[in-house]
Amino acid sequence: MKMNLIIILYSSFSLLFLYSSCSADPIHHLCGDDTKVKDYPEVSRNIAILVDKVGAGATNNGGGFSATSYGAGLAEAFGLAQCRQDVPKADCAACIRDATVNIRKLCPVQADAKIWYDYCFLRYKLENFFGQVDTSGIYYYNVANADDPNTFNKKLGALMQVVRSDATKAGNKGLGKGQTKISTFLTLYGLAQCTRDLSDINCAQCLAIGIGNFERFCKDKIGCRVVYSTCYIRYELYPFYFPLDATAMANLSERSAGKNYKTFIPRTL
C-alpha cells in the first residue's frame, strides 16, 4: 500500500491536556475535495441539519454514538458522531459540541469532512459510509524510545492482542482497554476503539491494520496513537483512559508524558 507522508513536529503536550481534551484543539481534520456545499444550497442546508442531528443523538440518548442521514437523492448527507466509550458523559457532550461547531468552520465548502478530538470524532459525507472500514487519518508517536525495546515490544504486542479482542466482544461497544507491567516501576496502558457502525469482523480488520502499522510508525516508541476514521488505537506509559489513576498521574515524568510528539499524516491510503 503506497503512502505519501508528511511529517510534522508536535510539541507542548501539557499535562492539562491529559485531564481535559474537551476544550483542546482538534487532533486533526480532513476536508474532502467535494465542494457541493458551495454549489448546491440544499446540500449545505442538509449538512447543517445533519450535524446538529448526529450531535444531539450522540449526547442525548445515544450513549455517545449516533449515525444517521438527512435529505434525499443526491443531496442526502450521512453523518456519524462518537465519543470514546470510556469518557464521562459531560466530557463527551462538551467534545461533541466543539466538533459540531468546528467541523463546519474547518471544512466550510466541503460535503465530505472529518474531525478528530482525543475524546470524540465526527464526520459527514454525501455517500453512505456506514459499516465500511476507513483507515484515513493520522499517526502520533512519542519521540522517546523504550530503554529495553525487546521487552517493551513483547509486552506491547500481548497487550494489543487483549485490547483488540475486547473491542470486538459483544457488549463492549467497540472498546477494549487494559494495562500491563513493563517493569517494577513502569506500566503500559493500551486502548482500542472502533466506531460502533462496524461489524465485529470489520472492527477487527481496522484494528489489525492500525496495530500492524506500529512497526512502521511507532517502532520502539514509548507512546503512539493511530487515529483512523473507523478505529482508534493508543498506548502510553501513563494512564490516559478513564477512570484515571491519580497516583500514576502524580508520578508522571516529562519523558513519558510526551512533550514532543511527531506526526505522520498519510495522504494516500
Give per-residue pLDDT as tens, 202-249: 999 999 999 999 999 999 999 999 999 999 999 999 999 999 876 555
Determine the residue type at 237. Answer: L
* CB-based contact 152:222 (threshold 8 Å): yes
Q: What is the CATH architecture assignment of 5-20+135-266?
A: 2-Layer Sandwich (3.30)
CATH superfamily of 32-125: Gnk2 domain, C-X8-C-X2-C motif (3.30.430.20)
Radius of gyration of the chain (CA): 18
In angstroms, what CA-CA distances link 116 with 7, 170, 177, 178?
A: 18, 25, 20, 23
Mean pLDDT of 148-165: 97
Rounded average pLDDT over 168-197? 96
C-alpha cell at 250: 502524580
Strand order in the sheet with 175-181: 5-11, 260-266, 137-142, 224-228, 231-236, 187-194, 175-181
pTM for the full predicted model: 0.86
Closest CA to 173 of 192, 191, 196, 190: 196
> What is the C-alpha to C-alpha distance for residues 93 and 59, in angstroms, rounded to an integer?
5
Distances (CA, A) of 70 to 44, 73, 169, 242: 11, 10, 31, 33
Helices (H), 111-178: 149-167
Once rounded to an integer, what is the mean pLDDT over residues 10-20?
A: 35
What is the tens place of the pLDDT at every residue in 78-93?
A: 999 999 999 999 999 9
Q: What stretch(es) of the chain map to CATH 3.30.430.20?
A: 5-20+135-266, 32-125
Identify the residue whose cell numbers are 466541503: 110
User: What is the structure's pLDDT at 257?
Assistant: 56
What is the strand order of the sheet 120-125 is part of?
Answer: 28-31, 113-116, 120-125, 77-83, 65-70
